[in-house]
């Protein structure tokens, strides 16, 4: 009898808990769930405006970086995401390839000049606005350190900026991915990587968040950093010493909206998109906390801006991220030590043959051990797997582990050669 009563009480308790507790996959009628790579702060004003129009709707944001956002939507028990909002074409493309996005019913009339910058499938994403990218700097910091204001990413190779630069990584930031690929498109694979590695050797820190770069610079922890304009322009409102300059070597970066296919047609997703594309929101988009340029605002457009060959970029996306992490992030102290040794020795050398030898050592330090064709071929092998099944995912991981191992060995060998040659040159220069 006692056991029966206990079982009835437990049953009632579980029933009450299930009725009162939210469960993954159990959606509310009046809820809009947005998966985004943006932080909440820039979106607050837009969410508040939507809430005024539809006070009965609870808007919930799920913030994820690009890769974790893909992983989240690939988990079957997460069924309550309605829409995706991001500047990362890599995220949108992967979601489209894995059949996670609806074909959009609402159309946006993107101007002709913008179409070459819209990278994912145009029938599955809409464009809300766009960002430019450039260099943010703290003028008080530069004045105190007697540093000139840089006007481009390529200018940051100058050794005078050693230790003064903050930057994020392409594996953690979709916008940083686009900056890196912009440099590779603008200067070519070899010269592009020489610039990127040289800037890497000047880094003072690597930020885990893309918006952390502007924060570091605004607070004076570091003086300079590459960033999208929205982060810098927002902080400029509170920090008079913060300056920003657009870089013509960086592509334009549209902000994408997409509807998740698992949900069918969600009425609030469409209402939210209609609000974003309305004349009222578009007219003040660049002055809002979101700080994006409106669709019809062409002031940043130039024929000189690089456009990204997206099929090429998608094919090598994982490999480029891996190269940056292995060649810069994981060996940053060694990279900086070698660069400092080169710049210090350069001031001491007087003979032409010694300076020429030092230039060769510098070239070795900033030369990638794999050429573009080899990386492209490896990317093709990985992309052919598609990674839709567990077996394909395992095979893809094996190929990436093999590339990781070979890259690690090649980078270690080139760094060892740099150290040996520097030691030899120092001995001869005495």
Report pLDDT for 8.
45
State the virtual CA torsion across 77, 79, 81, 83 in degrees, nearest 10. Answer: 120
- 196-218: average pLDDT: 94
Report pLDDT for 14.
38
Report pLDDT for 262.
67
Report pLDDT for 209.
83
Distance CA 315, CA 143 (A): 43
Report pLDDT for 15.
40
- 310-315: average pLDDT: 89
**Which residues lie closer than 8 Å to 413 by C-beta, 6 or more apart?**
369
Alpha-carbon distances of 375 from 178, 189, 313, 316, 415, rounded to whole Å: 18, 10, 11, 7, 20
Q: Using pLDDT thresholds of 50, 70 and 90, give the confidence band for residue 384.
A: confident
pTM of the model: 0.88
Report pLDDT for 425.
96
Q: Is the CB of residue 308 less than 8 Å from the CB of residue 119?
A: yes
Report pLDDT for 5.
40
Phi/psi of residue 138, each to 5°?
-100, 110
Would the CA dihedral through 192, 194, 197, 203 be positive or negative? negative
Report pLDDT for 13.
43
Does the pLDDT value for residue 351 go beyond 60? yes
Task: Please state, as a whole number, how many other Cβ atoms lie within 10 Å of the Cβ of residue 212.
Answer: 21
Distance CA 218, CA 215 (A): 5
pLDDT digits (tens, 9 = 90+) for 73-82: 666 545 678 9
pLDDT digits (tens, 9 = 90+) for 87-121: 989 889 888 888 888 888 766 678 999 999 999 88
Does the pLDDT value for residue 287 go beyond 60? yes
Does the pLDDT value for residue 385 go beyond 80? no
Report pLDDT for 395.
84
pLDDT digits (tens, 9 = 90+) for 139-166: 999 999 999 999 899 999 999 999 999 9
Percent of the chain residues topping a pLDDT of 90: 61
Tell me which of 25 and 360 has the higher pLDDT: 360
Q: Using pLDDT thresholds of 50, 70 and 90, give the confidence band for residue 265.
A: low
Distance CA 211, CA 218 (A): 11
Report pLDDT for 70.
67
Compute the mean pLDDT over every residue in the chain, rounded to the nearest whole number. Answer: 87
Report pLDDT for 261.
82
Does the pLDDT value for residue 226 go beyond 90? yes
pLDDT digits (tens, 9 = 90+) for 163-194: 999 999 998 888 999 999 999 999 999 999 99
Most confident of 27-31, 363-367, 379-383, 384-388: 363-367
- 260-271: average pLDDT: 78
Q: Point out which residues pair with 85 in neighbouring strands.
A: 36, 257
Report pLDDT for 107.
62
Q: Is the CB of residue 24 less than 8 Å from the CB of residue 79?
A: yes
Distance CA 362, CA 421 (A): 10
Alpha-carbon distances of 217 from 6, 134, 211, 213, 229, rounded to whole Å: 62, 14, 10, 6, 14
Q: Which of 8-17, 348-357, 402-411 is the least confident region?
A: 8-17
Phi-psi sector, 3: left (phi>0), alpha (psi -120 to 50), beta: alpha
Report pLDDT for 1.
47
Distance CA 256, CA 252 (A): 13
- 222-233: average pLDDT: 94
Q: Is the CB of residue 236 less than 8 Å from the CB of residue 292?
A: no
Does the pLDDT value for residue 30 go beyond 90? no
**126-131 and 133-138 beta bridge pairing:** unpaired
- Which domains does the chain show, CATH number per domain? 31-131+253-283 (3.40.190.10), 133-246 (3.40.190.10), 310-429 (no CATH)
- 55-83: average pLDDT: 76
**Which residues lie closer than 8 Å to 208 by C-beta, 6 or more apart?**
168, 172
Report pLDDT for 79.
62
Q: Which of 33-42, 43-52, 346-355 is the least confident region?
A: 33-42
Distance CA 276, CA 164 (A): 38
Report pLDDT for 264.
61
Distance CA 1, CA 6 (A): 9
Q: Is the CB of residue 214 less than 8 Å from the CB of residue 226?
A: no
Q: Is the CB of residue 93 less than 8 Å from the CB of residue 314?
A: yes
- 48-70: average pLDDT: 86
Q: Using pLDDT thresholds of 50, 70 and 90, give the confidence band for residue 10.
A: very low
Report pLDDT for 16.
39
Q: Is the CB of residue 195 less than 8 Å from the CB of residue 183?
A: yes
Report pLDDT for 263.
61
């Amino acid at each position: 009898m006692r056991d029966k009563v206990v079982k009835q009480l437990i049953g009632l308790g579980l029933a009450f808990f299930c009725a009162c507790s939210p469960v993954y996959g159990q959606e509310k009628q009046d809820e809009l769930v947005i998966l985004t790579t943006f932080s909440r702060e820039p979106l607050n004003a837009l969410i508040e405006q939507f809430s005024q129009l539809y006070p009965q709707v609870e808007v919930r944001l799920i913030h994820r970086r690009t890769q974790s956002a893909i992983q989240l939507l690939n988990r079957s028990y997460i069924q309550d995401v309605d829409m995706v909002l991001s500047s990362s074409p890599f995220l949108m493309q992967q979601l489209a390839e894995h059949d996670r996005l609806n074909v959009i019913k609402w159309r946006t009339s993107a101007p002709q000049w913008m179409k070459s910058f819209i990278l994912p499938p145009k029938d599955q994403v809409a464009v809300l606005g766009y960002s430019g990218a450039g260099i943010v700097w703290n003028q008080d910091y530069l004045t105190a350190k007697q540093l000139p204001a840089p006007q481009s990413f390529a200018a940051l190779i100058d050794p005078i900026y050693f230790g003064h630069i903050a930057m994020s990584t392409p594996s953690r930031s979709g916008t940083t991915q686009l900056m890196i690929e912009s440099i590779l498109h603008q200067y070519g694979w070899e010269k592009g990587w020489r610039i990127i590695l040289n800037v890497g050797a000047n880094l003072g820190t690597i930020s885990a968040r893309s918006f952390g770069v502007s924060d570091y610079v605004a607070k004076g922890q570091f003086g300079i950093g590459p960033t999208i304009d929205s982060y810098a322009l927002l902080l400029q409102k509170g920090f008079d010493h913060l300056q920003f300059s657009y870089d013509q070597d960086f592509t334009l970066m549209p902000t994408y909206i997409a509807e998740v296919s698992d949900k069918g047609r969600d009425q609030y997703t469409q209402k939210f998109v209609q609000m974003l594309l309305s004349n009222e929101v578009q007219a003040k988009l660049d002055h809002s906390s979101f700080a994006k340029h409106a669709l019809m605002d062409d002031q940043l457009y130039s024929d000189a801006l690089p456009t990204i060959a997206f099929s090429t970029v998608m094919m090598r996306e994982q490999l480029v991220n891996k190269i940056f992490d292995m060649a810069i992030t994981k060996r940053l102290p060694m990279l900086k030590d070698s660069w400092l040794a080169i710049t210090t020795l350069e001031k001491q050398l007087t003979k032409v043959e010694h300076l020429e030898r030092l230039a060769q050592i510098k070239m070795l330090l900033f030369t990638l051990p794999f050429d573009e064709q080899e990386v492209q071929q490896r990317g093709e092998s990985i992309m052919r797997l598609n990674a839709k099944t567990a077996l394909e995912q395992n095979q893809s991981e094996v190929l990436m582990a093999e590339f990781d191992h070979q890259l690690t060995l090649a980078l270690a060998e080139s760094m060892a050669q740099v150290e040996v040659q520097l030691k030899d040159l120092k001995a001869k220069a005495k």
